[in-house]
Each structure stands twice: as structure tokens, then as C-alpha cells.
């Protein structure tokens, strides 16, 4: 009976060796973290590009970044960053605004991007809307108007 136990032990050792051989330096915690960071960076770049396309698709839009102001950012009950947008319509007819808000850290690194519509702002009036980050953001969050289009 010693043979089956020896054979089982030898098989177990072989399996462990095969599993350990299959591991490479590419699967270290730092490389997995780096890969996750690259995926997040890629997703962020994709979201930024999508926001740009949304604004570019507006026909007869006018760049009015200076007519849009942001309040101090805060957080909602879900922990997502929020900021109130105020858009001033300086024309003589009702207009809507599409505003790209960048959520950044204190160093100016973008954490998230959203496009918000402020609809039907009456002539010579202001309209408001709230921008909300797509996910929970940690640390101190700042906001800036990256682009604003009136249409």
C-alpha cells in the first residue's frame, strides 16, 4: 500500500509545481494594481472622448464657457461629488446649455467627467442644474467647466 500514497504525494507535488510554474512576475500585486489603473485610465479617456463627442454633435452651438459658473462642490448621500451649475442666457430667446464638468483632485488631475444639460433658459435669465460624478470620489474634489455650449 505504500505505492498509492507515494503516487498521490508525487501527483500532488507535480500539480503544485505546475501551478507555481504558471505564475509569473506579471501577476504580482503591483502589476495587477498597475493593470487596474491602466483600465481605469482607459475608461476615463473613453468617457472624456464621449463627452467631447456629445458637445461636438450639437448643431449651431456657441462656445459660452464664460457664461457658466459652478458653486462649491459637495457630496450627495451616495458619496458622489456634486456641483450646482448656473448658466446665464445673454440672448433674446430661450436657449439650452450643454456643460462638461471635470471633477479633479487638488493637483488638477481629472477624476471624472460629466456632461449636463441646462434646458430652456429664458432670455436674459439664468438656469441651474446639478452635475453628479459617475462614481464615488474620495479626497478633496474640485470642479471646473471644461466646455460649455449654448444652443
| pLDDT of the chain, 151 residues: tens digit per residue | 444 444 333 333 344 434 333 443 444 333 333 343 444 455 556 666 666 677 777 777 899 999 999 999 999 999 999 999 999 999 999 999 999 999 999 999 999 999 999 999 999 999 999 999 999 999 999 999 999 999 9
Q: Which cell numbers hold the place of 65?
A: 464657457
Predicted confidence at residue 18, as pLDDT, reads: 40
Predicted confidence at residue 50, as pLDDT, reads: 66
Predicted confidence at residue 130, as pLDDT, reads: 98
CA dist., res. 142 & res. 108, Å (int): 8
- Count how many residues are written for the chain: 151
CA dist., res. 148 & res. 141, Å (int): 20
Q: Name the one residue in this structure whose C-alpha cell is 471633477.
A: 103
> Measured between alpha carbons, how far is residue 22 from residues 19, 27, 33, 36, 79 in Å?
5, 10, 19, 21, 40
pTM over 0.75: no
Predicted confidence at residue 38, as pLDDT, reads: 47
Predicted confidence at residue 44, as pLDDT, reads: 55
Nearest to 148 by CA among 86, 73, 92: 86
Amino acid at each position: 500500500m505504500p505505492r498509492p500514497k507515494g503516487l498521490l504525494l508525487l501527483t500532488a507535488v507535480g500539480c503544485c509545481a505546475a501551478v507555481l510554474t504558471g505564475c509569473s512576475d506579471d501577476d504580482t500585486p503591483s502589476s495587477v494594481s498597475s493593470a487596474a489603473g491602466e483600465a481605469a485610465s482607459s475608461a476615463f479617456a473613453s468617457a472624456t472622448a464621449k463627452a467631447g463627442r456629445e458637445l461636438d454633435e450639437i448643431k449651431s452651438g456657441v462656445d459660452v464657457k464664460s457664461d457658466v459658473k459652478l458653486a462649491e462642490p459637495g457630496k450627495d448621500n451616495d458619496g458622489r461629488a456634486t456641483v450646482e451649475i448656473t448658466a446665464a442666457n445673454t440672448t433674446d430667446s430661450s436657449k439650452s446649455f450643454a456643460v462638461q464638468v471635470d471633477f479633479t483632485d487638488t493637483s488638477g488631475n481629472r477624476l471624472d467627467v460629466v456632461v449636463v444639460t441646462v434646458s430652456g433658459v429664458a432670455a436674459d435669465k439664468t438656469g441651474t442644474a446639478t452635475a453628479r460624478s459617475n462614481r464615488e470620489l474620495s479626497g478633496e474634489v474640485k470642479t471646473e467647466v471644461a466646455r460649455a455650449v449654448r444652443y
